[in-house]
Every structure is written in C-alpha cells, then in structure tokens.
C-alpha cells in the first residue's frame, strides 16, 4: 500500500501543482541562491574518492578556497569531510584580489572565513552511523545518536585549528560555514549548533544542508532556524519521515527478509515434489 500511496502522490504533485503551491512562498533572494549553489557544489565534491580529486574540484570551482584538511574515509561517528579557508579573508587583507572561476558569485564567499564540508552516506562507516537511531537527550529535546556523534566529532576535531586561525587574524569571532548532504547535512547542522552553544564568543557558525534527515526533535529543530538552512525535495520521503518511522521501516524490512529466509528453508524445487 505504501508504494501505491507514493505513486498516487507523484501523480498529483506534478510540476504544475508544485508551481501553484509555491506561488505564495517568500521569494529566495539572489544572494541566497548563490550561496545555495556554491554549497551544493561543495557538498557534491565531498563524495570524491581522493584528496587529489577534491583539490582539483576546488581549483576548478574557485581560486578563493585553500584546502586545509581532508578525511576521505569514514568511521562510525566520524564522517568524511574536508576543511578549506577563504583566501580572500585569510590572506587577502593586503588588497590582493583572487579571481573567481565557476563560483557564480563572489559576495557570498566573503561572508565566511572557513568552510567545513561533510560527506553523506557512502561506505560502511556511514551506514553504521546512520543505524544508530536511538535518541540522545540534548538541551530541551533529543537528537539522532549517530548523527549527533558525527557533528560532535567535527567540532572536537577542528576547534584547535579554528582557534589558531582566529588568533592569527586578530578577530574576535571566526566565521565558519558548514555544509553537506544527507548524513553530512545532519552532522554539519549538529556541529553548527554545538559551535554556537560552546564557542559562541569566538565562533560564528551557520549551516546549509541538502536532503537533511530528521535529526532533531521538533522544538529543538525550531530553535535552529536562524542559523541552519535545509533544502529537502518534497518527494524525498526518506528525509521527511521522523526517526521512529525510519526505525519501524528498518525493523519491518528485517522481519520480512527473515520471514522469506525462513520460508526458503522449507521450499523445494517443483521437480522434487
């Protein structure tokens, strides 16, 4: 019945329906569209297999980013990611100009000093992080255990580097932009929240996520709307379900597979009957 429901929804929510539904939404400012474009490119780049591929992807995209750290292999609770500094901010105080390449707008790139890009699910370590579906208590709500651990890892891994950059710049606050897709979007959102909670005097963090899963409880999620922007395709049912529904679906799939496996032990080819 679930598949029939999806088919019916896809039939109703065609492009014409979506255009009418979005007609009265608040318009997206051009600068925000540029920021989303650049964040999406970097989020896609995070899936590259090697450091060299990420470096080349950055060089093809813009001259403004200098790669500082890359982790291409994920462990449970430790997502793959890369960190890059904005040359215009870190080295551009002498007035030197850096040309843009594929980056569609240079004003959005001047609003941050460092960008942290977190990869989504790609390998076994990521799957294990996704599978930690139990909720952990955080502030006045709860969060996805595995994704929360991933965001906490990002903060603890790089806070020393960020503080070093801040001191070298002589800034009161370092502006950090985090972005990612799927699991990466969730970890980036958690990291931005933790930066603002524990290092709000020295770090100004914001996050942009694409296809972000439901990682925070409703009230907690509402409290992050001023610094976290998420983009979710309205037909992406995997991201729109709540955590417990995801858990129920996994359990149901496991039970069905177990049933067929058990039945298979008692089935014999027809010619043996």
Residue-wise pLDDT for 229-240, tens only, equals 998 776 565 555
Going by C-beta distance under 8 Å and a sequence separation of 6 or more, which residues neighbour residue 31?
105, 107, 108
Taking the CB of residue 98, how many other CB atoms lie within 10 A of it? 17
Is residue 89 scored above 80 in pLDDT? Answer: no
Is residue 155 scored above 70 in pLDDT? Answer: yes
The rounded distance, in Å, linking the Cα atoms of 128 and 147 is 10
Per the document, the length of the chain is 273
| Residue 30 confidence (pLDDT) | 86
pLDDT band of 46, cuts 50, 70, 90: very high
Q: Is 94 exposed, middle or buried (0-12, 13-18, 19+ CB in 10 A)?
A: exposed
Which residue in the block uniquely carries the two structure tokens 């922007």? 229
According to DSSP, the residues that pair with 231 across neighbouring strands are: 210
| Residue 90 confidence (pLDDT) | 64
Q: Is 247 exposed, middle or buried (0-12, 13-18, 19+ CB in 10 A)?
A: middle
Three-class secondary structure of residue 149 per DSSP: helix
Q: What is the mean pLDDT of residues 69-81?
A: 96
First to last CA, the chain: 34
Is residue 180 scored above 90 in pLDDT? Answer: yes
| Residue 98 confidence (pLDDT) | 37
pLDDT band of 52, cuts 50, 70, 90: very high
pLDDT band of 27, cuts 50, 70, 90: confident
pLDDT band of 259, cuts 50, 70, 90: very low
What is the reported pTM?
A: 0.77
Q: What is the mean pLDDT of residues 78-101?
A: 68
CA 80 and chain centroid, separation: 11
| Residue 91 confidence (pLDDT) | 61
Residue pair 37/107 in contact (Cβ under 8 Å)? The answer is no
More confident: 180 or 139: 180
């Amino acid at each position: 019945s679930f598949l029939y429901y999806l088919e019916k929804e896809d039939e109703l929510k065609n492009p014409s329906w979506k255009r009418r539904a979005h007609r009265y939404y608040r318009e997206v400012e051009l600068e925000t569209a540029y920021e989303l474009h650049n964040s999406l490119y970097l989020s896609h780049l995070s899936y590259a297999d090697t450091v060299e591929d990420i470096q080349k992807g950055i060089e093809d995209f813009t001259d403004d980013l200098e790669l500082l750290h890359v982790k291409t292999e994920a462990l449970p609770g430790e997502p793959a990611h890369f960190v890059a500094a904005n040359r215009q901010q870190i080295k551009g105080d002498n007035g030197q100009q850096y040309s843009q390449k594929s980056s569609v707008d240079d004003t959005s790139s001047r609003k941050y000093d460092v960008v942290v890009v977190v990869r989504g699910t790609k390998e076994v370590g990521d799957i294990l992080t996704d599978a930690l579906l139990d909720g952990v208590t955080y502030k006045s709500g709860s969060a996805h255990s595995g994704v929360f651990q991933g965001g906490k890892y990002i903060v603890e891994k790089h806070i020393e580097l960020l503080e070093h950059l801040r001191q070298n710049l002589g800034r009161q606050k370092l502006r950090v932009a985090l972005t990612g897709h799927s699991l990466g979007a969730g970890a980036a959102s958690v990291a931005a929240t933790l930066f603002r909670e524990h290092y709000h005097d020295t770090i100004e963090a914001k996050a942009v996520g694409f296809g972000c899963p439901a990682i925070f409880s409703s009230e907690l999620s509402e409290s992050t709307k001023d610094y976290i922007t998420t983009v979710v395709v309205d037909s992406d049912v995997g991201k729109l379900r709540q955590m417990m529904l995801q858990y129920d679906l996994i359990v149901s799939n496991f039970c069905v597979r177990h049933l067929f496996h058990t039945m298979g032990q008692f089935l014999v080819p027809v010619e043996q009957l």
